[in-house]
A and B are shown apart, each in its own frame.
Chain A
Amino acid sequence: MVVAANKSAVGRAPTAKAPARAAAKSPARRSDKMAAVPEFTKAEELEAYRRMLEIRRFEEKAGQLYGMGLIGGFCHLYIGQEAVVVGMQAALKQGDQVITGYRDHGHMLACGMDPKGVMAELTGRRGGYSKGKGGSMHMFSTEKGFFGGHGIVGAQVSLGTGLAFANHYRDNGSVTLAYFGDGAANQGQVYESFNMAELWKLPVVYIIENNKYAMGTAVNRASAQTDFSKRGSSFNIPGEQVDGMDVRAVKAAGERAVEFARSGKGPYILEMLTYRYRGHSMSDPAKYRSKEEVQKMRTEHDPIEQVRNRLLEKKWATEEELKAIDAELRDQMNAAADFASADPEPDPSELYTDILR
């Protein structure tokens, strides 16, 4: 029964392929059953390289500042998962919206938010996107279509469905991307949202970033159905698994899903098979997985290395040119860190502002 329902659901998406069961066990390995990966042009490869490296250099710098005591509290780094947000962002138009959970720095940079403002929020300074009152997990930019930054696991799924509801209400042709992890995928409100989104044909793409671990719990220890692309089956929401370490695969799947949602056919689920290299948060030593597992991902599936290798193989860029991009980004992140360290803390009077409008 379940299998049949899933088939019919997937069958509704003209370009979706049946998800591969084996892929869930080895998230970053591409399955034969996944959609063929279209090649990128030189310009696309270079852009993806720059955007992903920007996130990585930002996160590395954030990790440093955390170690120096400049960033406090929770800080969840996105290193390893960069291809997901960069590929998806390439599928969006002006006016589309993005919402996610607490591992959100990558999403903000991908949306075009200024690394200075993000870093200054991490350090709790007045120049941060939330004037220092939100921190790592709570930043927003209506201008860039970024709606947070939410700390309660799964809450962003209902909220993102609400953003899509507003698009539908206004009939403005915009689409919402609601990102969540394999951990949030077991929250009840996710399914309440799936139900309403399909019932009302809301223009929302649900992106499940399956990085194999919900904090310290491996997917197979928490999820009865580890193929998250099937999680919409009983609502007739089509889903597919995507190699989330290959930015080209992400962009192609993103375009299919966004087009589906934008054309009024309702929600779509993309399960991104990805991996985080760092612990869940800065205080997590990640003892629940082996060093070898992490090392294997880094050497064989790194999203940035993949693009770099292709650029060099095809002679679309030289080592020197790529180093120059890297140097430029490192400078940018150093400047962001300098700003975030020097910027003053919020004025004490800010304690009582922004409670009510």
Chain B
Amino acid sequence: MPTEVLMPALSPTMEKGNLAKWLKKEGDQVRSGDVIAEIETDKATMEVEAIDEGTLGKILVPEGTQDVAVNTPIAVILAEGEDASAVSAPSPQAAESAPPVAAAPLEPSPVAASAPATPAVVNSAVAVPPQPETVPEPDVPEGTEFVSQTMREALRDAMAEEMRRDGDVFVMGEEVAEYQGAYKITQGLLQEFGARRVIDTPITEHGFAGVGVGAAMAGLKPIVEFMTFNFAMQAIDQIINSAAKTLYMSGGQITCSIVFRGPNGAAARVAAQHSQDYTSWYSHIPGLKVVAPYTAADAKGLLKSAIRDPNPIIFLENEILYGHSSPVPKLDDFTVPIGKAKIARPGKDVTLVAWSIGMNYALKAAEELSKLDIEAEVIDLRTIRPMDVETIVASVKKTGRCVTVEEGWHQSGVGSEIVAQLMEKAFDYLDAPVLRVTGKDVPMPYAANLEKLALPSVQDVIDAARAVTYR
């Protein structure tokens, strides 16, 4: 029976990639372990290795093909006596359900690195809906040209622009320099700014967070990348006790202009220790600002503002959003103010408050709700601390109803704070209790079905919105 070679995933969040090159041609003999092709995404290149022995019977996806979905058959390998003519083009359904049996991603080659390799699964629940075009970017002058960029590129550009602007800005963290970033956010920075300003650290979060804070106390402006915020739990003492409190404890004498950034929250299929959402933890702390962008434009504009800010900033990114593209204004110096929420979609019936990946659920739910004649107003909070309560209250005064959406847990979550604020500031305007859609109250499970259950869903948001609108 001919064996299909499937398009492999380079990371748990990869959905598609380019078939860069075939290294074998039809009719070639291949043995287990032979490299047969190269595939690439915007963050990495990887070699595809044959697992079965046989003849490369047919190449189904020619080299140079862009955006090949993960698990699409790209070739067939024939055993002895089999004929290529027996192979018919496989159906797309088959491609989606079949696990990659004949091909496996290899360790990255020295020149082309990848994100930390984990088994391939596409989390279809989090596909990004199109950006609503009806809402103008509030931070951009009219008539500005936009270019489509991934959040990954936008974050890199923000750092590069600020490093060009200010010699005191530098970036440090694990794999940020020679490896080009575990998630490729720092791609190209070493080449442009050199090893003095793009610094690979040992795996020592507590230590290098402290070194970063010390450098900031001396007046430098560090960008400290955590490979993920899960690892920053080792560094949280330095973030809170040293970075956040020293301005106060010194009576205003010692400033700490520093950005701690990296992916936060669940990626896909990485289990409990690598999937926690720390937004509410940091949002609790006076002396910190906490930023969590959703669009590429906001990621760029907010990161630039964060780097310039004289305070310690927790900049929470999301791995699943890194590869998603959205329009970024083509401006020489585009910044977004910290502490300002944005109405991402106007509506009159219910207010949905979300940020970061929570916006995925909120915007998709708003689309669905619209079909039920429920017009949801979606607020992208963007900054969690200081929180733009004013924008939320103004919206709720109009809609009378509110649902918050976050992947973090409900107890003492960000949603809880929003509920309390609305109780205090908009009680008389509420026509229903405010509901919170959150991650379930469990450590993140590994199994695909359980993970899906643990995360909030678009349906959860729809159900909550219908409940508060009594429809």
Contacts and interface: CB of A to CB of B under 8 A. Distances in A.
B284 interface: no
B237 A152 contact: yes
A166 B220 contact: yes
B250 interface: yes
B248 A354 contact: yes
A353 interface: yes
B210 interface: yes
A97 B251 CA distance: 19
A47 to B, nearest CB: 28
B416 interface: no
A130 B220 contact: no
A161 interface: yes
Nearest to B254: A140
Contacts of B216: 162
Contact of A161 (B211, B286, B310): B211
Nearest to A169: B220
Nearest to B208: A196
B246 interface: yes
A226 interface: no
A161 B237 CA distance: 16
B204 interface: yes
B311 A196 contact: no
B210 A356 contact: no
Interface residues of B, number: 39
A165 B215 contact: yes
A133 B241 contact: no
Interface stretch (A1-9, A142-150, A300-308): A142-150
Contact of A131 (B252, B255, B289, B310): B252
B207 A357 contact: no
Interface string A320-355: 000000000000000000000000000000000111
A139 B251 CA distance: 9
A281 interface: no
Nearest to B203: A192
Nearest to B245: A138
A242 to B, nearest CB: 25
Interface string A152-174: 10010111111111110100000
Interface in B165-208: 170, 196, 201-202, 204, 206-208
A128 B218 CA distance: 22
Contact of A140 (B170, B237, B250): B250
Contact of A163 (B204, B218, B248): B218
Interface in B243-260: 246-255
A152 B245 CA distance: 12
Contacts of B310: 357
B214 A162 contact: yes
A290 to B, nearest CB: 36
B217 interface: yes
Contacts of B210: 155, 157-159, 161-162, 189, 192-193
Closest 10 CB pairs of A and B: A162-B214, A158-B210, A192-B207, A166-B218, A131-B251, A130-B251, A159-B214, A138-B249, A354-B252, A357-B310
16 contacts: A130-B251, A132-B251, A150-B242, A151-B241, A158-B206, A159-B210, A160-B214, A162-B218, A166-B215, A167-B218, A169-B170, A196-B201, A196-B202, A354-B247, A354-B252, A355-B286
